[in-house]
Amino acid sequence: EVQLVESGGGLVQPGGSLRLSCAASGFTFSSYAMTWVRQAPGKGLEWVSIISDSGGGTYYADSVKGRFTISRDNSKNTLYLQMNSLRAEDTAVYYCAKGQCTSCPFDYWGLGALVTVSS
């Protein structure tokens, strides 16, 4: 059974940093692209970033480019999102999801981790 479990969320002050993790199981992690999608309170889903199966390709939404870094450790079956220079508008539930490739649909999702940016 495919499982994706996000962790590392919490309360952080504006300008601060946080690293999210997504532990994957039930599939060959190193064969799939992985993505982060977020949902601000009362808002819709927003695509944030994606990383290729090998980690050699990383792509970002304009809203987080230069502040967020996606990475993965295929030996640990874990996806990461390093978030720096956080802003109030980054407050959201962050979901990780898997896809066959970087242009493919996201076929399994986690339950999400809440990140709150507030002083």
Partner 1 sequence: QSALTQPASVSGSPGQSITISCTGTGSDVGSYNLVSWYQHHPGKAPKLMIYEVSERPSGVSNRFSGSKSGNTASLTISGLQAEDEADYYCCSYAGISTSVFGTGTKVTVL
114 binds partner 1 (CB under 8 A): no
Which residue, 17 or 31, is less far from partner 1 as judged by CB?
31
CA atoms lying within 13 Å on the CB side of residue 52: 5
Closest approach of Cβ 13 to partner 1, in Å?
Answer: 27
Binding span for partner 1 by CB under 8 A among 14-22, 46-54, 74-82, 84-92: 46-54
Alpha-carbon gap, residue 62 to 75, rounded angstroms = 30
Alpha-carbon gap, residue 92 to 41, rounded angstroms = 6
Alpha-carbon gap, residue 111 to 14, rounded angstroms = 25
Q: How many residues appear in the chain? A: 119
Build a one-symbol-per-residue string for 2-21: x at contacts with partner 1 by CB under 8 A, - elsewhere: --x-----------------
Which residue, 77 or 108, is less far from partner 1 as judged by CB?
108
Cβ 81 vs Cβ 94: under 8 Å: yes
Which residue, 97 or 115, is less far from partner 1 as judged by CB?
97
Residue 59, Cβ neighbours under 10 Å: how many?
A: 15
Residues at the interface with partner 1 (CB under 8 A) = 4, 35, 37, 44-47, 50, 52, 57, 59, 61-63, 95, 97, 102-112
